[in-house]
Amino acid sequence: MIRREAPGKLFLAGEYAVLQPGHPAVVVAVNRCVTVTVTDASSAETTFTSDFGGGTQLRCLRREGILMPESGHTPDNFRYVLSATNIVERLVAEAGGQPTPFAATTSGADLTDGAGHKLGLGSSAAITVATVSALADLYRLRLGRSERYRLAMLATVGVDPRASGGDVAAATWGGWVAYRSPDRAHIAELATTGTVAETVRADWPGLSVRPLPTPHRLSLLVGWTGKPASTSALTRRTGPGHASIRAHPRFLAETTACVERIVRALDADDVTRVQHEIRRARRLLDDLDDMADLGIRTPELDTLCAAADLAGAAAKPSGAGGGDCGIAVIDRTRPAQASALIDRWSAAGITHIPLRVYRHPDSSEDHPF
């Protein structure tokens, strides 16, 4: 039996801008994880079982080297695990290996509220990264982090061509990550015209991943609005037929500068400067929402941020907005401020989610926010 896990994520800053190749974001991996377990198959079928959607199973057969559902339909909760499997097995076949039937079970209850509602912590990316890691072990592939990220990113783009991959990077590296997205159209074309191995080795224009030092003075509080949101649905609204992020060069330029200042502040463990830039990042998202009507802001997120302002913290939505989570940055040396904010959130119906920074087992131990 092979068991691998991958963490969820939170965006600190850079949402929407990071959708454009080469533009930066800061993401952090959190200790709410997806686990993928792979065992030998008892038949010629490959089966996937998921606890997302109440516990369902997908039976697949290989047709011309590609795993396909017996029913001909792939349910939403299996799209990423199936895409990741086909990418890894293409790589195995290119090297002369023989894909084998197996049984995979995906467990992601950690990334829900206990009632099955996703918290917006990047479950799809975590599933994809954990699947790549588990199957790499199954097929005895020796892959570094960069190779695992690239395989997971190819699988992600196969499902959602607009995905920035910031959540994939956080799930792969763990900890705090400064990230710039690759040109996904370019890598999708590479995967279509060449082999998976060639695509993984190729230059990916725009891509940059840099692990950041863990800030020791910064405390990050996470609040859940109780309103799940769809990141893919929100980001699709920035594409053709609606306002494109490219149509707002000021947002791109100012967000890029803001994120770069946040990275420098994190490097210096300067919590006051991080707070200042988080407030700026929130205003930039508000301005974008006003211009493009994307639905980033919600009454619940506004309430979350307003409560943080009253407590002296710096807050903003995390991720695509439209619901899900918000974050608040507080100086760790002021624990009373954190307690006051949690109380304000509770009174306003915002659920505080206690989280820690996730580091992979081959890294140092996880560190509290």
Q: Considering just the CA atoms, what is the radius of gyration of the chain in Å?
A: 20
Name the percent of the chain lying above pLDDT 70: 92
pLDDT given at position 212: 96
Buried b (16+ CB within 10 A) or exposed e, 47-67: bbbbbbeeeeebebebeeeeb
Whether residue 231 contacts residue 48, with contact meaning beta carbons closer than 8 Å, is answered with no
**Centroid of chain to Cα 44:** 33
pLDDT given at position 323: 81
Alpha helices in 120-201 (DSSP H): 123-138, 145-159, 166-173, 184-193, 196-201
pLDDT given at position 236: 55
pLDDT exceeds cutoff 60 at 36: yes
Between 338 and 54, the higher pLDDT residue: 338
Phi, psi dihedral angles at 24 (to 5 degrees): -95, 160
pLDDT given at position 126: 96
Terminal alpha carbon distance of the chain? 33
pLDDT given at position 240: 41
Q: How far is CA 231 from CA 94, 163, 228, 253, 310, in A?
A: 34, 9, 10, 23, 29
**pLDDT, tens digit (0-9, with 9 covering 90-100), for 142-172:** 999 999 999 999 999 999 999 999 999 999 9
**pLDDT, tens digit (0-9, with 9 covering 90-100), for 288-314:** 999 888 899 999 999 999 999 999 999
| Average pLDDT of the segment spanning 1-16 | 96
**pLDDT, tens digit (0-9, with 9 covering 90-100), for 225-261:** 988 765 555 555 555 433 567 778 899 999 999 999 9
pLDDT given at position 233: 55
pLDDT given at position 53: 59
pLDDT given at position 109: 80
Whether residue 153 contacts residue 198, with contact meaning beta carbons closer than 8 Å, is answered with no
pTM of the model: 0.92
pLDDT given at position 129: 98
Could you please report the per-residue DSSP string of 285-318?
HHHHHHHH------HHHHHHHHHHHHHT-EEEE-
pLDDT given at position 43: 81
Spatial neighbors of 255 by CB under 8 A, at least 6 apart, are 13, 14, 16, 17, 23, 281, 284
Q: How far is CA 179 from CA 129, 160, 210, in A?
A: 16, 18, 6
- Please, which pLDDT band fits residue 351 given cuts at 50, 70 and 90? very high
Please tell me what DSSP assigns to residue 332.
T
**pLDDT, tens digit (0-9, with 9 covering 90-100), for 173-222:** 999 999 999 999 999 999 999 999 999 999 999 999 999 999 999 999 99
**pLDDT, tens digit (0-9, with 9 covering 90-100), for 73-122:** 999 889 999 999 999 999 999 999 999 999 999 998 888 877 677 888 98
pLDDT given at position 231: 58
Cβ atoms within 10 Å, residue 364: 10
Q: Which helix (H) or strand (E) holds 249?
A: helix 249-267
**Centroid of chain to Cα 60:** 27
Tokens at residue 258, please?
A: 């803001």
